[in-house]
């Protein structure tokens, strides 16, 4: 039973902490476009974007209002802009340089203490001119993949719990049944044996 619980805990940590991540490769001097899908975060009031989890770049409201923060203007000047188009938020960085490389993180703010990560996109600047403006290669799970995995894991966990409950119930029932067979059927048997 303890091994099953440990397995379930480890499995849930893998699923809960898996975050969509991707790599965008861009040739130096070209334009990089990084996108986050906001559809899974319908209740979010705003979205926050960070570089290497330290530099606070921008806040984008659900209605599409963009506020570039000091870190963004100091790092990129007027080369950086954000735009919201339907369910997508795009970070557009023109004339990319090797110094622009890093991990860009998007966080949805649903409530003050509910801030799930939307995903992390790594910008990789190359010297190759044959790389298109922005080419992305997925290295992690998308939010829909994560949702499917979470659903499967929850189903498996419930199935394991039901199987364990059935096994425990049958063992208890079997113990009761075998215990009743060992006992005399009524109390008169002991008196009858005393009389003989």
| 6 confidence band (pLDDT: 50, 70, 90) | very low
Residue 88 clears pLDDT 70, i.e. is over it: yes
pLDDT in tens, 29-75: 999 999 999 888 888 899 999 999 889 999 999 999 999 999 998 99
DSSP conformation class of 35:
E
pLDDT in tens, 95-144: 999 999 999 999 998 877 778 888 899 999 998 765 555 444 444 444 55
DSSP conformation class of 138:
E
Query: DSSP string of 96-127?
Result: --GGG-EEEEEEEESBTTB--EEEEEEEEEES
The answer to whether 115 and 107 are in contact (CB under 8 A) is yes
Domain ranges of the chain: 1-18+141-179, 21-139
Give the span between the Cα atoms of 58 and 73, in whole angstroms: 10
Residue 17 clears pLDDT 60, i.e. is over it: no
Question: Higher-confidence residue: 9 or 150?
Answer: 150
Buried b or exposed e, range 144-178, using 16+ CB within 10 angstroms: eebeeeeeebeeeeeeeeeeeeeeeeeeeeeeeee
pLDDT in tens, 157-174: 988 899 999 999 888 888
Residue 1 clears pLDDT 70, i.e. is over it: no
Q: At the top level of CATH, which class does the domain 21-139 belong to?
A: mainly beta
């Amino acid at each position: 039973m303890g091994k099953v619980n440990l397995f379930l805990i480890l499995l849930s940590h893998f699923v809960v902490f898996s975050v969509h991540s991707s790599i965008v490769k861009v040739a130096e001097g070209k334009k990089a476009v990084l996108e986050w899908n906001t559809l899974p975060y319908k209740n979010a009031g705003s979205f926050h974007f960070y570089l290497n989890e330290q530099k606070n770049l921008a806040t984008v409201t659900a209605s599409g209002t963009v506020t570039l923060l000091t870190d963004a203007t100091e790092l990129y000047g007027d080369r950086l802009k954000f735009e919201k188009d339907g369910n997508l938020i795009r970070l557009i960085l023109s004339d990319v340089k090797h110094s622009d490389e890093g991990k860009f993180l998007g966080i949805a703010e649903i409530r003050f203490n509910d801030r799930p990560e939307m995903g992390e996109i790594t910008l990789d600047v190359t010297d190759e001119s044959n790389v298109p403006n922005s080419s992305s290669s997925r290295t992690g799970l998308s939010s829909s993949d994560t949702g499917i995995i979470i659903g499967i894991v929850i189903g498996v966990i419930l199935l394991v719990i039901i199987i364990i409950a059935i096994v425990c119930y049958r063992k208890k029932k079997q113990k009761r049944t075998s215990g009743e067979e060992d006992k005399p059927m009524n109390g008169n048997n002991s008196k009858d044996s005393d009389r003989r």
